[in-house]
């Protein structure tokens, strides 16, 4: 992970799609306003039980965001048409009173413009610009507590002249004004990106092994084909390394923006199950060739941790930032694969080491697990924490790779350890526990990796 071309990851649960949709979402873009209204319709619940939860954190962001601050006009509707005003609860949710009235609909408004102004990290915010509305799912969609595993039907309504695009079902042939989508559950709904407006450009990279798209909003002139070529090369390199592609389709989502202020940060990006988002300050020159490492890294997360994950990652605890013990694996292992193995950057080893050597004492004295727990909410807010987490993970991967190859006379490598984690997750469909990681990798490689594992569990100093 590095500044300007960085990461974040995410994870989602994927049960089979229910035969009957139980939850319906309707998103309306308010005319001439940088706001959206959300309507959620569901099987009737007692008003006392129908809490509207607004996420406070998103998978892989390793931070907290007060999205409640941008929510207004929360109203619940009973089956008889009675309206109940939403009241802020003790956490990140709205309540609708203690009556036994049956509630089956909730509406609320999201102020996108205020969100973009107040949230300084562009990767955490939705955007509202000229001829454009870009929705970061976690920041706009809430859910009715207890119904987050139900299948969802989403309808988006906007200006009749505005094309609608979503990474849920990417296509260059976009519908104008309205479109509908299905999501396996709430996690799938909010993991996706939604790009509305005449300012959105979409292309498909035809040569890719899977449907590969670039969707972008740019307040400057950008050649999407160049981004697509870099994305294609990245996907090919990752497919060659892992030996397969797990995504049914993939979208590179880019925003090229005039900064809201000098304090706004456009240097962090985010990956999702079948897409990545990147944000760029148009005052800085953009060269897609220099983005190769970034794109490889972000697409690489579609393997780990998005399809092989530790505890705290899935199922996600939306109202808090969960404590994640394996950030070093999520980020460091993919840093190692992306920059050292695929791009064969030998010099990056020294950079990872310098990140550790130059860390303050409060970081150096933390064990790997302790530092990961600290990074669960402060990964980027104090980026020394983030850099040390991915540096330790990457250097552990390097040591594992050297050890595995030596013990097997080059017949096995770190790749076999990665594939072991991926196969294990695919078979077990659950998060691996911290003490299961080394045995899984050891079994996959046929090498006792406990000496390397034990070495890296200790604090550097």
18/152 Cα distance (integer angstroms): 9
- pLDDT tens readout for residues 373-418: 999 999 888 999 999 999 999 999 999 999 999 999 999 999 999 9
User: Of 288, 398, 333, 331, which Cα lies nearest the Cα of 60?
Assistant: 331
Structure tokens at 137: 């799912």
- pLDDT tens readout for residues 29-88: 977 789 999 999 999 999 999 999 999 988 888 888 999 999 999 999 999 999 999 999
Parse the chain into domains and list their residue ranges. Answer: 23-191, 323-461
66/134 Cα distance (integer angstroms): 19
How far is Cα of residue 96 from the mean position of the Cα atoms in its chain? Answer: 31
428 and 439 Cβ atoms separated by less than 8 Å: no
pLDDT of residue 183: 96
398/57 Cα distance (integer angstroms): 31
- Yes or no: is domain 323-461 CATH 1.10.390? yes
- pLDDT tens readout for residues 116-169: 999 999 989 999 999 999 999 999 999 999 999 999 999 999 999 999 999 999
Q: Which of the four CATH numbers 2.60.40.3650, 2.60.120.200, 3.30.2130.10, 3.20.20.70 does domain 23-191 have?
A: 2.60.40.3650
Q: If 0-12 CB within 10 Å is exposed, 13-18 middle and 19+ buried, where does residue 113 land?
A: middle
Give the count of alpha carbons within 13 A of 187, CB side only. Answer: 22
pLDDT > 90: percent of the chain? 82
322 and 375 Cβ atoms separated by less than 8 Å: no
What pTM, to 2 d.p., does this model score?
0.92
Q: What are phi and psi for residue 277, nearest 5 degrees?
A: -120, 140
pLDDT > 70: percent of the chain? 95
pLDDT of residue 62: 87
For residue 435, pLDDT beyond 50: yes
Sheet with 93-95, edge to edge strand ranges: 87-88, 93-95, 52-53, 143-144
pLDDT of residue 286: 86
**Beta partners for 194?**
135, 166
């Amino acid at each position: 992970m590095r500044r300007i071309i960085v990461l974040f990851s995410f994870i989602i649960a994927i049960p089979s799609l229910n035969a009957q949709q139980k939850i319906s979402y309707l998103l309306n873009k308010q005319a001439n306003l940088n706001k959206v209204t959300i309507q959620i319709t569901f099987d009737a619940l007692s008003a006392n039980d129908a809490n509207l939860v607004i996420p406070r954190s998103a998978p892989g962001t390793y931070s907290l965001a007060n999205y409640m601050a941008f929510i207004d006009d929360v109203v619940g509707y009973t089956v008889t048409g009675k309206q109940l005003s939403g009241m802020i609860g003790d956490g990140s949710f709205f309540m609708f009173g203690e009556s036994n009235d049956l509630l089956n609909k909730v509406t609320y408004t999201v102020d996108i413009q205020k969100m973009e102004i107040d949230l300084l990290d562009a990767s955490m915010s939705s955007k509202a610009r000229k001829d454009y509305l870009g929705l970061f799912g976690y920041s706009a969609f809430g859910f009715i507590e207890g119904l987050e595993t139900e299948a969802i039907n989403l309808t988006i309504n906007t200006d009749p002249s505005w094309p609608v695009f979503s990474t849920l079902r990417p296509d260059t042939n976009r519908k104008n004004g309205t479109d509908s989508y299905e999501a396996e559950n709430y996690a799938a709904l909010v993991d996706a990106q939604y790009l509305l407006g005449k300012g959105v450009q979409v292309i498909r990279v035809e040569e890719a092994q899977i449907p590969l798209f670039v969707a972008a909003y740019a307040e400057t002139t950008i050649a999407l084909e160049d981004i697509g070529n870099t994305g294609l090369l990245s996907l090919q390199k990752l497919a060659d390394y892992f030996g397969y592609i797990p995504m049914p389709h993939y979208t590179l989502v880019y925003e090229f923006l005039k900064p809201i202020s000098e304090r706004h940060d456009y240097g962090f990006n985010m990956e999702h199950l079948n897409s990545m988002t990147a944000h760029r300050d148009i005052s800085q020159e953009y060269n897609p060739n220099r983005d190769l490492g970034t794109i490889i890294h972000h697409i690489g997360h579609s393997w780990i941790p998005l399809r092989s994950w530790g505890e705290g990652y899935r199922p996600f605890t939306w109202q808090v930032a969960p404590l994640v013990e394996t950030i070093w694996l999520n980020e460091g292992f993919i840093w190692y694969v992306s920059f050292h193995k695929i791009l064969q950057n030998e010099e990056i080893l020294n950079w990872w080491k310098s990140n550790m050597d130059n860390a303050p004492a409060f970081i150096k004295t933390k064990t790997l697990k302790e530092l990961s727990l600290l990074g669960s909410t402060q990964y980027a807010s104090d980026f020394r924490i983030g850099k040390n987490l991915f540096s330790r993970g990457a250097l552990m991967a390097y040591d594992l790779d050297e050890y595995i190859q030596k013990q097997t006379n080059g017949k096995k490598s770190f790749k076999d350890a990665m594939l072991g984690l991926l196969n294990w997750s695919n078979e077990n469909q659950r998060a691996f526990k911290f003490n299961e990681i080394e045995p899984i990798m050891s079994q996959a490689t046929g090498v006792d990796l406990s000496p390397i594992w034990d070495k890296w569990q200790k604090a550097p100093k």
